[in-house]
Structure 1
Amino acid sequence: MTDKITIEIDGRACEAAPGEMIIAVADREGITIPRFCYHKKLSIAANCRMCLVEAEAGGRPFPKPVPACATPVSDGMKVQTRSPKAIDAQEGTMEFLLINHPLDCPICDQGGECELQDVAMGYGGDVSRYSERKRVVEDEDLGPLIATEMTRCIHCTRCVRFGAEIAGVRELGATGRGETMRIGTFTAVAVEHELSGNVIDLCPVGALTSKPYRFQARAWELTGRDSISPHDGVGANLRLHVRRDQVLRVHPNDNETVNETWIADRDRFSYEGLYAADRLTQPMIKRDGAWQAVAWGEAMTLVAERLKAADPATSGWWLAPNATLEELYLAQRVARGLGVADIDSRLRQQDFRDDAVAPLRPWLGCTIAELETRRAILVIGSDLRQEQPLLAHRIRKAALAGAGVGCVNPLELELNHAATQLVVDPAALPAALAAIAKALDCAPEGAGAALIAAAEPDEAQRALAELLRAGEAGQGGLVALGALAVAHPDYALIRALAETIATTSGCALGWLPAAANSVGAHLAGALPQVGPGGVALERPGRALDAMLAEAPRTLVLWGVEPDRDLIDPARAMAACEQAEFVVACSAFRSPSLEAGADVLLPIGAFAETSGTFVNASGVWQSFQGAVAPPGEARPGWKVLRVLGNLLDLRGFDYVSAAGVREELAECCGEAVHDNAARAALGALEPRLAEGGLARVGGVPIYALDALVRRAPALQRTAMPRAALALYLHPERAAALGLEEGAEATLSQGGRTLDCEVRLDARLAPGCAWVPAAVAGSERLGAQIGPIEITAAGAQRG
């Protein structure tokens, strides 16, 4: 049996795979067949009937037109898409679809790019024969992201199928029959899952549109600009729609190897943050405690003089891991040109004990597309759907294909697929991994030797070990470390145990980078022990924890808000206050920067600068600026170029961001990404003692970076465990004498905070979940660490 067959469409010979649908073959050959319900990523519904064509197989014509989306091809089949019979069927279907559709194209946001408009022009009549009353459907409020005009709905069910098949969250469904059929939520709740905005792109009419974009512009007024998402490590491909130098909406660009045809809601709606009221638009200098706007020349001269005069041994640079590759590379060039070695972009990490042996060029461990083919995946320390929406979608596809998925976390995740979940206290995470390693018959050696030797695996830990063994027997597995693992006080020990588990089980070791350029930061040399190209430095500088313990006298912040972006915001702000001179290069003028900085330099944000992001699988993705930065703000790489020249550093004569990128590419050469430790790590003792209560500060999905924190629509969504509160397991709350809605006093790192108690049975008993990166959380200590809790007003013993 051959792999290909030949069919004929409109007289053209076409190759096809046996069982392939007619419409898929036609699309590949560039032959237009109208459709509404069909979508290449969704199951076949065949309910709009717009794709009716005339066909014959084996020399015998089908008795009536057949739906091209639901008719498989056979060898020798002949298809006519424009025959009188096909056209008559298509025109009849179009007339039926328009019977109840309102004539409100002039006020519809979909006007000008509407599939119904286009198909009606090609296949519809110019006069309607329908003279009865049209139906009217009451609109449902689906939340702050999606606007509804359900009278326009033609019941294609794309949105329903997307929720069930892609997102794994059935928030929308169809009720009723015939003319009384309605698309809506079953329980009158908002549609706010992390991929919900994709239904806007899927809707072929104006029934579901973007609420933030509503009535902003017409489609023909917009200019499209390609870009890359600045948030997580996927690097979703975006299409920015611009009018009058302003980004008005964001759509996905197709890229099968990265984001397929989907984007997360924070990729789609975060552009609103570009127009926040606190945008920094002028250079500013603090004089006598008051901020004054100054010219660029004055500000840059002052910065150059102070940096040149500063002692390199007492200077530090904190770089945001979502800065562009060019900015990170130039920033470390300026710093090291001044003799400064204390440079770090790992802002949400507190354990650096393995820096001497840690991998120099870490990555996901496989391509993003390959996640779907893994037969076993163990995720350690990650709230997957909140941290990595698009990677979670890929892992869901793997699970649906039969892969075993396991998770080890301080909470039970709200997943949309089958998974084996092990919920452990934060302090018990290293011991739990050691038990899995022992169940895999790992030799007790390396950093976790003592824990492995003492481990007694329970049934759940043995189940995870068996899951990984199944992956070894199939197409391979993956052991991946997430943001909660990276933030753990024992991350070095956790990473070593994860590598032991991966090596013994025959799986790859992976890392789920939380920021857009975390992988790129290693290549750019934005770490104290790593230079450009991801090479080890002979004389490494101090990591972030050392700079927080002993504050630098001169500090440069690049795209960093110290009260939101660091592992321990209280210590970060204290370091800024203790420093003699602080320069903050930022797109925003936040209260923490105004309090801690001496000079503010405005730099362009996402969409306002050219640059490159390196995604989780090591793919370099470059983009151009779509709009100009506001006011006097300038692209970051240009600011660093000027600073390098003012400091009399050699080689800062770049003409474009592409020139910077090419220079770094030469440094990287043929560098290969690798997650393996460079040498064996000696025994490590856990820092977080078991038996006590540990605070876990997960970063909510819409608090990840400065841009999403300023996007109004995203901030109005109701995501789990996002509000500042103390979330406790009911048993632990009862033991502490606390109940739902009570006020509790939290004490961590010598700091206190009063907040409301909320009960959550998904949490481990030893976990006190207090979200990080939200207003008020800066008053506590490290993102994960010991914490004391009492009822508000009670005395601690």
Structure 2
Amino acid sequence: MPALARTVLRTALSKVLHLHRERPLQHCRRFGALTSKPYAFRARPWELKSTESIDVFDGVGSNIRIDAVGTEVRRILPRLNEEVNEEWISDKTRFAYDGLKRQRLTVPMVRIHTGEANEQLVGVDWYKARAILVNKLVSAIREAATPATTQRSAFEAHAIIGPYADCESIAALRRIFYSMFPEGTAFVHVQGHANTGTPPTDFRYAYCANTTLAGLEHADVILLVATNPRVEAPLLNNRIRKAVLFGNARVGLIGCHADLTYNREHLWHLGTSPATLLRIAQGRHAFCSVLAKAQRPAIIVSQQAFQRHDGAAIFGCLATLVDHVPRLVPRDGSWNGLNVLHTAANTVGALDLGFDHTLKGNRWIDQSGAQQTSEQPWARAKLLYLLGADDIDGLEELPETCYVVYQGHHGDYGASIADLILPGAAYTEKNGTFVNTEGRVQRTARAFLPPGQAKVDAEILDELLVGLDHAAGFFDAAQEMEFLAPHLGVQYGLQEPDLIRTPNTGQVQLGGAKAERARSLPLSPMPFGPVIENFYMTDPITRASATMAKCVRVARYSNFEESSS
């Protein structure tokens, strides 16, 4: 290859890495036949088995094609879908698949004590693993039914849903957990963050991206609150960039400084704290005149803004802003500019199925009791079920009497503290339903079987439910899912929001009485922090990927390997 071509190609690759998204380089015909380096010389095209599926590394749900040979993924390519990802996929989606074959959980394991300070995980078969879990759950149910004589002896059971859990397994876990522990608490774990705060779930449009991904291209003013779409959702950031380039849209940012790849004359950094959002909501900021003149204004708020201790107050500011800017949600229904950006693949699906909680973080489950009794957080937890949840803060403070069950596909942090490990299937190894950040229902397809003795998550929970005699006959997780949320049975369906307005003023209601009380709550002076510190390593799959490790090294030190030729 000539030296000039190598220079231009290296510049193109640098820009791809810089933008966090990638168009297939095979389309660059002037450079000849280019191939992906991890895929080069690994397989021939006619040897590949192609499966159309969905990406789960962010909340967009990009449509992808999985090319595999046997039980190994050889490459992942984008599928054309103009409503979701067009022909783009992110760098993480395209190259993180090598993490699917490293640090996998392939057999059930139970932790045994071999001495005073010695512990080890021993592999067992599924029959013994289910027997151990059923016995432990039965004893936990008996303990939960026993009245507590003291506050310290109170019983708490918790379940945490990870970012990769599909709707079928979530519905099965909901059936099991609440049938055994009616007073238990279940949380939706957000990818890359320890807290679990969610916006009010009284109305679905209060926690979805109502403008839709394609609709953001038509916005003329966009307000970003506590979000960096370039790392949270690169494909959504691409839509905003198109609105700036072709629609001359103006973007206001409240949060950390970030290079969002827009033209600088169109990007205004308004502030870093919630006080700026409050001034805009009350009409006391210069940006209010820009919003008032906009025909199609839009606001995008990261879900992680609601995970702060003043998350309810931030939601109250959004409700006030919607009231003061009528064109955000006009009465004729021609536009809906309210958007909540989720970083996990199925947070919207979990909220649709009824998993939400008022607590702002897993670390403070026992905070009210801890302040009165000087106990540590998690002090009264006796049972913790982790469904693919790894990045949880405060688990090192779990008491020794707490029994931890981890169900997932990678040996990450959650598996390291578990007393019982149930190996599950990754997104390439199961048929599952996911709902992206705009509320669109999509389904993954199984490209090959899980490794070893691993099983699909819903199948594991179905067998557990039968073992506990809580199922009347055959339990179907898909039917349970559609019973709880009928719209989840429509693939690629996007449910139109039915806006609820007050009879007298016509203002949009974003929640019930709790959301109305949030308008008067005080805001914290603490500025918004960075959303994601490391784009290339946000979950167990990417942390196990050698390619993502190279991307981290290149992004931090810019030390591309130069060829001697």
Q: Is the 8 A contact 1:234 1:516 kept in 2?
A: yes
Structure 2 Cα separation of the partners of residues 396 and 245 of structure 1? 38
Q: Is the 8 A contact 1:557 1:584 kept in 2?
A: yes
- Deviation track 1:264-292 (CA, whole Å, cap 9, x = no partner) reads 1111112111111x211100000101110
Q: Does 1:329 align with 2:154?
A: no
Give the structure 2 partner of residue 712 of structure 1: 546
Give the structure 2 partner of residue 737 of structure 1: none
Q: Is the 8 A contact 1:240 1:247 kept in 2?
A: yes
Bigger Cα displacement from structure 2, 581-590 vs 333-342: 333-342
Amino acid at match of 1:345: V
Q: Secondary structure at the match of 2:254?
A: strand
Q: Is the 8 A contact 2:50 2:65 kept in 1?
A: yes
Structure 1 Cα separation of the partners of residues 475 and 201 of structure 2? 33
Amino acid at match of 1:305: N
Task: Tell me which of 527, 534, 540 is aligned to 1:700.
Answer: 534
CA drift of 1:138 comes to: 4.5
Q: Does 1:266 align with 2:92?
A: yes
- Deviation track 1:35-54 (CA, whole Å, cap 9, x = no partner) reads xxxxxxxxxxxxxxxxxxxx
Structure 1 Cα separation of the partners of residues 366 and 556 of structure 2? 26
CA drift of 1:322 comes to: 2.7
Q: Secondary structure at the match of 1:192?
A: helix
Task: Tell me which of 301, 310, 329 is aligned to 1:481.
Answer: 301
Q: Secondary structure at the match of 1:485?
A: helix
CA drift of 1:410 comes to: 2.5
- Deviation track 1:104-150 (CA, whole Å, cap 9, x = no partner) reads xxxxxxxxxxxxxxxxxxxxxxxxxxxxxxxx42598xxxxxxxxx6
- TM-score relative to the length of structure 2: 0.80
Q: Does 1:344 align with 2:191?
A: no
Q: How does 1:120-131 map to 2 (within 5 A)?
A: none
- Deviation track 1:231-262 (CA, whole Å, cap 9, x = no partner) reads 21111001000111221110011111111111
Q: Secondary structure at the match of 2:551?
A: coil
Q: Secondary structure at the match of 2:448?
A: coil
Q: Secondary structure at the match of 1:385?
A: helix
Structure 2 Cα separation of the partners of residues 433 and 366 of structure 1? 20
Q: Is the 8 A contact 2:160 2:385 kept in 1?
A: yes
Amino acid at match of 1:392: N
Q: Assess, with a 3 A threshold, how the Cα gap between structure 1 residues 684 and 665 changes in structure 2: closer, same or farther.
A: closer
**Any stretches of 5+ residues in structure 1 without a counterpart?**
1-135, 141-149, 151-181, 440-456, 530-540, 724-797
Q: Does 1:298 align with 2:128?
A: yes
- Deviation track 1:570-621 (CA, whole Å, cap 9, x = no partner) reads x13323x555211001111225532x21001100012011101111121111
Task: Tell me which of 252, 256, 259 is aligned to 1:410.
Answer: 256
Q: Is the 8 A contact 1:280 1:588 kept in 2?
A: yes
Q: How does 1:235-274 map to 2 (within 5 A)?
A: 235-274=61-100
CA drift of 1:557 comes to: 0.5
Q: Assess, with a 3 A threshold, how the Cα gap between structure 1 residues 553 and 650 changes in structure 2: closer, same or farther.
A: same
Task: Tell me which of 307, 312, 327 is aligned to 1:492.
Answer: 312
CA drift of 1:710 comes to: 1.8
Give the structure 1 partner of residue 350 of structure 2: 521
CA drift of 1:207 comes to: 3.8
Structure 1 Cα separation of the partners of residues 470 and 187 of structure 2? 21
CA drift of 1:702 comes to: 1.6
Q: How does 1:308-327 map to 2 (within 5 A)?
A: 308-310=138-140, 311-312=143-144, 313-327=155-169
Q: Assess, with a 3 A threshold, how the Cα gap between structure 1 residues 209 and 338 changes in structure 2: closer, same or farther.
A: same
**Any stretches of 5+ residues in structure 2 without a counterpart?**
114-118, 145-154, 329-336, 368-376, 490-494, 500-508, 558-565
Give the structure 2 partner of residue 465 of structure 1: 288
Q: How does 1:619-634 map to 2 (within 5 A)?
A: 619-634=440-455
Q: Secondary structure at the match of 2:541?
A: helix
Structure 2 Cα separation of the partners of residues 559 and 245 of structure 1? 21
Structure 1 Cα separation of the partners of residues 234 and 531 of structure 2? 19
Q: Assess, with a 3 A threshold, how the Cα gap between structure 1 residues 346 and 245 changes in structure 2: closer, same or farther.
A: closer
Q: Assess, with a 3 A threshold, how the Cα gap between structure 1 residues 296 and 385 changes in structure 2: closer, same or farther.
A: same
Structure 2 Cα separation of the partners of residues 200 and 518 of structure 1? 32
Q: Does 1:585 align with 2:396?
A: no
Q: Secondary structure at the match of 1:318?
A: strand
Q: Secondary structure at the match of 2:385?
A: strand
Q: Assess, with a 3 A threshold, how the Cα gap between structure 1 residues 327 and 615 changes in structure 2: closer, same or farther.
A: same
Task: Tell me which of 248, 263, 278 is aligned to 1:434.
Answer: 278
CA drift of 1:196 comes to: 4.8
Q: Does 1:554 align with 2:383?
A: yes
CA drift of 1:208 comes to: 2.7
Q: Assess, with a 3 A threshold, how the Cα gap between structure 1 residues 695 and 356 changes in structure 2: closer, same or farther.
A: closer
Q: Secondary structure at the match of 1:492?
A: helix
Q: Is the 8 A contact 2:405 2:418 kept in 1?
A: yes
Aligned length: 498
Structure 2 Cα separation of the partners of residues 330 and 223 of structure 1? 31
- TM-score relative to the length of structure 1: 0.58
Q: Assess, with a 3 A threshold, how the Cα gap between structure 1 residues 390 and 316 changes in structure 2: closer, same or farther.
A: same
Q: Is the 8 A contact 1:314 1:553 kept in 2?
A: yes
If each structure's helix is expressed as a fraction of its own residues, which one has the higher value? 2
Structure 1 Cα separation of the partners of residues 236 and 130 of structure 2? 41
CA drift of 1:416 comes to: 2.9
Task: Tell me which of 379, 386, 403 is aligned to 2:224.
Answer: 379
CA drift of 1:330 comes to: 1.1
Amino acid at match of 1:285: V
Q: Does 1:420 align with 2:267?
A: yes
Task: Tell me which of 321, 324, 327 is aligned to 1:501.
Answer: 321
- Deviation track 1:686-706 (CA, whole Å, cap 9, x = no partner) reads 46445xx98656342222222
Q: Is the 8 A contact 2:19 2:230 kept in 1?
A: yes
Q: Is the 8 A contact 1:245 1:627 kept in 2?
A: yes
By relative contact order (CA 8 Å, sep 6+), the higher-ranking structure is 2
Q: Does 1:390 align with 2:390?
A: no
Q: Secondary structure at the match of 2:317?
A: helix
Q: Assess, with a 3 A threshold, how the Cα gap between structure 1 residues 187 and 705 changes in structure 2: closer, same or farther.
A: closer
Q: Secondary structure at the match of 2:282?
A: helix
Structure 2 Cα separation of the partners of residues 280 and 572 of structure 1? 20
Q: Is the 8 A contact 1:700 1:721 kept in 2?
A: no
Q: Is the 8 A contact 2:26 2:33 kept in 1?
A: no
Structure 2 Cα separation of the partners of residues 722 and 677 of structure 1? 43
CA drift of 1:660 comes to: 4.9
Q: Is the 8 A contact 1:325 1:613 kept in 2?
A: yes
Q: How does 1:220-239 map to 2 (within 5 A)?
A: 220-239=46-65
Q: Is the 8 A contact 1:256 1:369 kept in 2?
A: yes
Percent identical residues = 27
Structure 2 Cα separation of the partners of residues 238 and 492 of structure 1? 36
Q: Secondary structure at the match of 1:183?
A: helix
Structure 2 Cα separation of the partners of residues 381 and 327 of structure 1? 31
Amino acid at match of 2:280: I
Structure 1 Cα separation of the partners of residues 315 and 360 of structure 2? 20
Give the structure 1 partner of residue 561 of structure 2: none
CA drift of 1:651 comes to: 4.8
Amino acid at match of 1:519: V
Q: Does 1:646 align with 2:480?
A: no
Amino acid at match of 2:132: L
Amino acid at match of 1:513: H
Q: Secondary structure at the match of 1:315?
A: strand
Amino acid at match of 2:157: S
Q: Assess, with a 3 A threshold, how the Cα gap between structure 1 residues 201 and 673 changes in structure 2: closer, same or farther.
A: farther
Q: Secondary structure at the match of 2:365?
A: helix
Bigger Cα displacement from structure 2, 615-624 vs 338-347: 338-347
